Amino acid sequence: MKTVYSIFLSPSRHHFSPLRFHSEAAAALEYHNQHHPLSNPNSIAPNAYQEKTIISLTKSCTHKSHLLLIQTHLLRNFHFYNPTIFLSFLSRCALPPLHDLSYSHKIFSQFPAPNVSLYNTMIRAYSLSNDVAKKGVLLYQEMLRSGISPNALTSMFATKCCIKFGSLFSGLQIHARILKDGHQSDSLLLTTLMDFYSSMEKGREAHKVFDEISLRDTVAWNVLISCYMRNGRTRDALGLFDAMRNSNECQPDEVTCLLVLQACAGLNALEFGEQVHNYIEERGFHNMMNVCNSLIAMYSRCGCVEKAYDVFRGMVNRDVVTWSAMISGLASNGYGRDAIEAFEEMQRAGLVPDDQTFTGVLSACSHSGLVDEGRIFFEAMKRDFGVVPNIHHYGCMVDILGRAGLLEEAYDLVSSMRIKPDAAMWRTLLGACRIHRHLALGERVIEHLIEMKAQEAGDYVLLLNIYSSVGNWEKVIEVRKLMKDKGIQTTPASSTVELKGQVHEFVADDVSHPQKKKIYETLEEINQQLRIAGYVVEITSDLHNVEDKSKQSAPSYHSEKLAIAFGVLATPPGTTIRVAKDLRICVDCHNFAKILSAVYNRKVVIRDRNRFHHFEEGRCSCNDYW
């Protein structure tokens, strides 16, 4: 029987037609199943031309049916178990785009004596899967038991499998084997080990591996920076950027810049972000869209939306991510109307908004109190754009309704959602209950959080604020007793402020800063000036039902107050003070910053867990709703 393959493998024919493969698939497979065994170790070696042509045909396959036809022909002609051809076939089947792991394993198991290259192919294929990566480690162990020594690639792929299914023990075993086999000089393998330890939150071990790399490339530096960020050492990540620039090994690439810009955004490190921006300009990365998008996000998250817009305006090409980043930046900084105008301009530019775009638009309505507009966008996103509302969209709507005092409507929306509400959404509603002093609903919300086993100390503090605002001191005592009995303690907040590219961090009543004496003296002087202007300490969430005189004599030095005092101390008059806080700003600190902005003629920008607060001339951009 003359098959399609005998024609394709003829020296007189040089063109391959997948359609002809497909047309004879069923007949060829049926013929093979009836007349030939599944395997034949005594393969007849093809000539060089046949081998080259078969490999070329295999690489050109885009469908499994084509591979099956090739396999059928190879089995008929006893070429399938030629090591070179088999490796090519297995690679095409096991790796993307086909990535058929089940069938690949069946093929692999048919080979009489797999070599290290075949094991590498299968382990690599498993390392690309989130579901069955563990099988890659099992195959690695099987390989060792069979007496085949792994090479550096084997260990690298097996380590990637450990990353995928999160096995610290297996990774440690592989690391030990790497040392035994003498592969610790392979830079690519060591970089993968760094990534492994980073994923296991073992930053110290990752740095040790980094130190062992003799020739560090950009990838190794980037992995270490990513490791620091993943393990909460964001400030150290900024230091690595400087160290990398000063090293003789390599210079930061665009990936490095993307990582460091993300770190700057998290730390509110505007000055350092500007240094990175200058470096981007010097290296010519400013023409890359993803870098520009990250710059927009960084400037926006540092409360400098003007510079974010400068980057946006200077871009030749903009995609949906660009517009969404700009809209979100305007929204989070209180420029709701501008965000909506940008949304409309985006559509005029011919781009279709996605779910991230609508998150930004609804956030704009939320932060700017645009209730009617928020309703319109929420209805239009699915009707006109086919965007199904997700948890973030519903959260924005709850915030919009809560801001307007429509608390029962907000509660009904949460209760009727097809998506299960998360703790963040209930906390948004709880915050609205605090603002509007809705005691009964606040208690209901707390019950939902308890039912989800997601309640935090901050939730009880909000409830305490609601009780104290209506003078219900019995409930205050009851909740405080409950917190004490359950061992619920408030999370220590921290605030950061940047000065000359260095990030300074403060916690409440902090005494760790080298300039602590001057900072507290400055804060005391500020308090005196603010009291003259009418500032009264608001500590209903700290002390309850005590004499006013006692309250005034027990001020709390919250982290953002210390950060602001340091800003006043260390910067010239008129300089904007930028603070980032990891929790929600309290009422007292909000009043403190608001009055300070007027008395000291300073613009103060505070980013808390919920939103930005731009204080200027005694007013806040949030209009006292947060």
The token pair at 343 is 């949304």
Cross-strand bridge partners of residue 503: 498
CA distance 28 to 295: 57
What pLDDT was estimated at residue 104? 92
CA distance 260 to 206: 18
- The label of the residue with tokens 């060829």 reads 28
Mean pLDDT by 10 residues, the chain (626 residues): 41 41 42 43 63 81 80 72 88 91 91 94 96 96 95 97 95 96 92 94 93 91 94 91 91 97 94 97 95 98 95 96 97 93 96 96 91 95 94 95 93 92 90 88 87 76 78 81 78 87 90 94 95 84 42 63 96 95 89 96 92 93 81
Q: Categorise residue 588: left if φ over 0, alpha if ψ from -120 to 50, beta otherwise.
A: alpha
Which secondary-structure segment (H or E) carries 73? helix 64-76
- Spell out a b/e string for 287-317, using b for 16 or more CB atoms within 10 Å of the CB, else e: eeeebbbbbbbbbbbbbbbebbbebbeebee
Tell me the pLDDT tens digit for each residue of 271-316: 999 999 999 999 999 999 999 999 999 999 999 999 999 999 999 9
Angle between helices 391-403 and 371-385 (to 10 degrees): 160
3 state SS for 490-557 = CCCCEEEEEECCEEEEEECCCCCCCCHHHHHHHHHHHHHHHHHCCCCCCCCCCCCCCCHHHHHCCCCC
Provide the 3-class DSSP secondary structure of residue 506. strand
Burial class (CB in 10 A: 0-12, 13-18, 19+), 543: middle
Max Cα-Cα span within the chain: 104
φ/ψ of 3, rounded to 5, equals -95, 170
The closest of 392, 326, 394, 404 to 368, measured between CA atoms, is 404
Q: What are 261-270's pLDDT values in tens digits?
A: 999 999 999 9
Instruction: Please report which helix (H) or strand (E) contains residue 505, including its range.
Output: strand 502-507
* pLDDT on residue 36: 42
Classified as helix, coil or strand, 487 is: coil
Contact status, residue 303 vs residue 605, Cβ threshold 8 Å: yes
Identify the pLDDT of residue 45: 65
In the chain the domains, ranked by start, together with CATH numbers, are 390-491 (1.25.40), 496-620 (no CATH)
382's CB contacts (< 8 A; 6+ apart) are 388, 389
Inter-residue contact 57 to 21 (CB < 8 Å): no
Residue 431 is predicted with a pLDDT of: 87
Tell me how far apart the alpha carbons of residues 614 and 603 are, in angstroms, rounded to a whole number. 7
Q: What is the DSSP string of 322-343?
A: HHHHHHHHHHHTT-HHHHHHHH
Distance between CA atoms of residues 95 and 116, nearest Å: 16
3-state secondary structure of 429: helix
Cis? peptide before 83, omega within 30° of 0: no
CA dist 567 and 593 (Å) reads 12
Distance, first Cα to last Cα, the chain? 79
Output the CA torsion 458→460→461→462 (10° steps). 90
Find out whether 54 and 74 touch, Cβ atoms under 8 Å.
yes
- CB within 8 A of 151, min separation 6: which ones? 116, 120, 183
Strand duo 502-507 + 619-620: pairing: unpaired
- 235-270: b or e for each residue (b if 16 or more CB lie within 10 Å)? bbbbebbeebeeeeebebbbbbbbbbbbbbbbbbbb
**Predicted confidence (pLDDT) per residue in 554-596, tens digit:** 446 899 999 999 999 999 999 999 999 988 888 899 999 999 9
The pLDDT, as a whole number, for residue 41 is: 45
Q: Which tokens is 524 given? A: 């005391």
Alpha helix locations (H) across 368-406? Answer: 371-385, 391-403
Query: Where do we find the tokens 């907000």?
Result: 410
**Helices then strands, each counted (H, E), the chain:** 33, 6
Q: How far apart are alpha carbons 387 and 390 in whole angstroms?
A: 9
SS3 496: strand
| Phi, psi angle pair for 605, to nearest 5° | -115, 120
* Separation of alpha carbons 581 and 497, rounded Å: 9
pLDDT of residue 622: 86
- Among residues 361, 367, 363, 368, the alpha carbon closest in space to that of 346 is found at 361
Q: What are phi and psi of 606, to 5 degrees?
A: -120, 125
pLDDT of residue 480: 82
Four-point Cα dihedral 142, 145, 149, 154, nearest 10: 20
Residue type, 610: N
Amino acid identity at 609: R
Residue carrying the six token digits 């200027």? 616
Asked if 469 contacts 540 with a C-beta cutoff of 8 angstroms, the reply is yes
How far is Cα 398 from Cα 610, in angstroms, rounded to an integer?
A: 14
